[in-house]
Amino acid sequence: TQLLEQSPQFLSIQEGENLTVYCNSSSVFSSLQWYRQEPGEGPVLLVTVVTGGEVKKLKRLTFQFGDARKDSSLHITAAQTGDTGLYLCASGSDEKLTFGTGTRLTIIP
């Protein structure tokens, strides 16, 4: 079973700062997804990365997939209070996802 480790587990920063969270695996990802979950809601898909070395941008969010497809990072520029939430990486196939341990991000106004 593939294990996905995310770091840091908790992160609290001031609005306007930049941050990076990480997702690492002991084995190669077939593809990797990043989700954000807000309190009282289910996870919402942010992006899917498939190719090693791939970089995708979603407004102030930049997602990078490692060349060896065993790690990924999410960088947020100029964080806003609306970025607060639980960030989860996930990988899998056939509608069976394995989720990472999550990074709980709090943006302080």
Residue from the set 20, 24, 31, 73 that interacts with another protein by CB under 8 A = 31
Report, in Å, the least distance between residue 26 CB and another protein.
16
Cis bond before residue 8 (omega within 30° of 0): yes
Stretch of 13-21, 42-50, 64-72, 76-84 contacting another protein, by CB under 8 A: 42-50
Assigned token pair, 85: 């939430």
Q: Name residue, tokens 């997939």.
A: 65
Q: Check residue 10 for interaction with another protein (CB under 8 A).
A: no
Q: Contact between 48 and another protein (CB under 8 A)? A: yes
Q: Does 20 bind another protein (CB under 8 A)?
A: no
3-state secondary structure (DSSP) of residue 49: strand
Judged by beta carbon, residue 29 or residue 79, the one nearer another protein is 29
- Region from 19-27, 57-65, 77-85, 94-102 binding another protein, contact rule CB under 8 A: 94-102
Tell me if 79 sits within 8 A of 107, measured CB to CB: yes
The DSSP 8-state label assigned to residue 79 in this structure reads: -
CB atoms within 10 A of CB 50: 13
Smallest distance, Å, CB 90 to another protein?
8
Integer Cα distance of 70 and 38 in angstroms: 26
